[in-house]
Every structure is written in structure tokens, then in C-alpha cells.
Amino acid sequence: MAQVRLNHIFKKYSNGFAAVNDFHLDIKDREFLVLVGPSGCGKSTTLRMIAGLEDISEGDLYIGDRRVNDVAPKDRDIAMVFQSYALYPHMNVYDNMAFGLKLRKFPKDEIDKRIQEAARILDITHLLDRKPKALSGGQRQRVALGRAIVREPQVFLMDEPLSNLDAKLRVQMRTEIAKLHKRLETTVVYVTHDQTEAMTMGDRIVVMKDGIVQQVATPTEIYNHPANQFVASFIGSPGMNFIKGSVKEEGGKVKFTAPGMDIIFPDDKASALRSAGYIGKDVTFGIRPEDIYSDNQFIEANPFQSNIKADIDVVENMGSELYVYFNNIGGNQMIARVDAREGLKHGMNVTLGMDLSKCHVFDAQTELSVF
């Protein structure tokens, strides 16, 4: 079994800086867990503590049933893949992959068996004789993965392994790592600052900010039900639109009001706001760009929609869709993501429809999600 248990883990560096605060999580056996967050949020420090490359200031770390706080990295049964491939330049691919096993005094034929199998899985058999300088970036990254695979560790730790690759290769390697994980059936802890990698690869995602875990959930849950405004803004591209305003009740209807906006919430959202005591309170309204529509059919037919008048500022053509940057009457900058066939252009003044069944509301003070 290779579950990893972080039991109230803290990291304080020697200069007193608290990089990780009370990280508490059970990573399941064979789970692909992604740690994501902006630069400096403590994700690499967390991974390095699991690897044993960084001391744990407080808390207990278990790999399987063993408490490993004081176990040396080489004895933790983990393998780590870094952003920099760190291959030995004077050794060919075969020897790079064999190195760790030779150090651990594995028999020659066992080493060969593992290398041939890993090379086959990664499609690098034809490269085994080459030196790293004769490989492309993607091939080098595969060798780095191969070197980790041959160890047959209980847990793979990956720290931004794809960030040195160009955009196309990154997409390709993303799916390869996901396939590899299914095939190897091991636990993976993967660090990235890229929300797309987190969404596409993770069984669960941990979103971190300033050393504190903000939310742990499946990609779908995080996307549809972000725990707070930070998670809502970090996950999703382009990011969610936020408008500051307040909740009012008039004639039995619960509304969100802000300069130039007067929105009547659908009944379920109205009840949620009422029962959580938000009538009369300041809130932040959130709507994702893809939940804003420009086609008349949606605007006419959807009962849970609300119109906004939009002055289109900039239109980014993504091919199949348009990112439409506009100002609403209240002067809020917003983004809609609409079908390219809608033909929206800079300078147009149009009516857009928001799908209120998908809207979010956050507490103005705590920034926690109401829904």
C-alpha cells in the first residue's frame, strides 16, 4: 500500500518564514494528487518534505504505515522527477537509467529487465545508446521519467516536470504521464503552477495560497464549487468575473444589486442566501466567462438568465471561440467566452445573457463561497 499521510505538517525555515501551515491530508493509494498554486505558495516545500529533502518543522508524515519524518530520502521508497531533468551528461540513456539501481546493488539482469520495460513503455528503446545532449527536450524528460520508473517506487513525486517543454510537447507529455500513471498503478504527487495541468491530470487537486491549503477536491468539484474567491479566480481560464455589490429582498424576490446591475436570483439561490443570512449584506457576485451567452436563443429561452448591456472593448479570436472583453453599465470589466460564429467585434454594443443557474456568491469580508 502506498498511501501518504500528511498529519498537520508545518514548515518554518530557519529565517522564521512559515512556508507551509497545517497541511493535513490523506493521499490515497494509487491516487494522482496535484498541488497547485501561485509562485511561493509552498507547494514545492510540501513535496520536498515528502521526499525528505526538507526537514518537517512540526507534524507527522507517513508513507504506507511507516512514519518517515526521520527516514533518509533514499530509504523512503519514493522517486522524484524535477523540472530540470538532471541527467548525467557523460552517460548514455541506459546508464542514466541504471545509475540509481547500480548504487542500490541490484543484479545486472534485473537492472536490464527494468530498463528495457521502462524504455518500451516510454518509447525510448531506440535512444538507449544516446547521450543526453543528442536528445530533444521531450526525450530527455522521458528519460528522467524512465529513471524514476525503474526504481519501482511506492510513490512518484513530480515537481513541475513539464515546465521546460514547449507548449505542444507539454500537452503531449501531459497525456503520457496520465497514461503512465494508470499503467503503473502507483501514487503520484505532482506539483504545478499551471491550472490546466491540475484540471486535466489530477484525481484530486490541492489549491494552496501563502502556505495554506485552500481546498482539496476533484477537478469538477473545484471548478463548479470553489471554496472561496481565490480558488474561483485561480482555477479556470479566462478567470471568473467578479462584481462587488449587495443582496436585497424586494417583493419576495432576492436580488443582487451593483451599479448598473440588478439581478433576480433563481429560487434555490435565493433560499441559500436567505438561510445563510445574506439579505442586506455586501457580497461579491461571480460568473464564469462561459456562462455568459451572446446568442438570442439563449437570451430568449433560458428562464435563469439575466441580461447585461455590454460595450465591447477587445475581442480575442481563439478560432472556435471568442474571448470578449467588455464593460457593463456599471463600468465593471468582464469577459465572456462565446462561439466564434456570433461574430462579435470591438466597439459593438450588445446584450449578453448570464446563466444564473451557474452563478456564484462570495462573502465580501471572508471571501468564502456561499454557493
| Of 193 and 360, CB closest to ligand ATP | 193
Contacts of 167 (CB under 8 A, 6+ apart): none
281 close to 361: Cβ distance less than 8 angstroms? no
Determine the Cα–Cα distance for residues 229 and 231; give it in Å rounded to an integer. 6
Ramachandran bin of 280, using left for φ above 0, alpha for ψ from -120 to 50, beta for the remaining angles: left
Closest distance between ligand ATP and the C-beta of residue 187, in Å? 20
Closest distance between ligand ATP and the C-beta of residue 174, in Å? 18
Contacts of 130 (CB under 8 A, 6+ apart): 92, 93
| Of 38 and 277, CB closest to ligand ATP | 38
| Of 36 and 261, CB closest to ligand ATP | 36
Residue 245 pairs in a beta bridge with 283
Determine the Cα–Cα distance for residues 266 and 292; give it in Å rounded to an integer. 16
User: Measuring CA to CA, which residue among 153, 132, 140, 202 is closest to residue 174?
Assistant: 202
Closest distance between ligand ATP and the C-beta of residue 329, in Å? 39
Determine the Cα–Cα distance for residues 138 and 27; give it in Å rounded to an integer. 29
| Of 46 and 305, CB closest to ligand ATP | 46
Closest distance between ligand ATP and the C-beta of residue 121, in Å? 29
Determine the Cα–Cα distance for residues 252 and 270; give it in Å rounded to an integer. 10
Residue 61 pairs in a beta bridge with 6
| Of 37 and 289, CB closest to ligand ATP | 37
| Of 19 and 261, CB closest to ligand ATP | 19
| Of 29 and 210, CB closest to ligand ATP | 210
Closest residue to ligand ATP: CB criterion: 44
Phi, psi at 23, each rounded to 5°:
-80, 115
Closest distance between ligand ATP and the C-beta of residue 136, in Å? 25
Closest distance between ligand ATP and the C-beta of residue 296, in Å? 44
Closest distance between ligand ATP and the C-beta of residue 192, in Å? 8
Measured CA angle at 160 (ends 154, 165), to 5 deg: 120
Instruction: Give me the amino acid identity at 52.
Output: G
Determine the Cα–Cα distance for residues 254 and 276; give it in Å rounded to an integer. 13
| Of 20 and 144, CB closest to ligand ATP | 20
Determine the Cα–Cα distance for residues 139 and 158; give it in Å rounded to an integer. 17
The DSSP code sequence of 150-163 is: TT--SEEEEESTTT
Phi, psi at 309, each rounded to 5°:
-85, 130
| Of 147 and 193, CB closest to ligand ATP | 193
- Among the residues of 33-136, which ranges form H helices? 43-51, 93-103, 108-122
Sites of contact with ligand ATP (CB under 6 A): 13, 15, 17, 19, 37, 39-45, 193
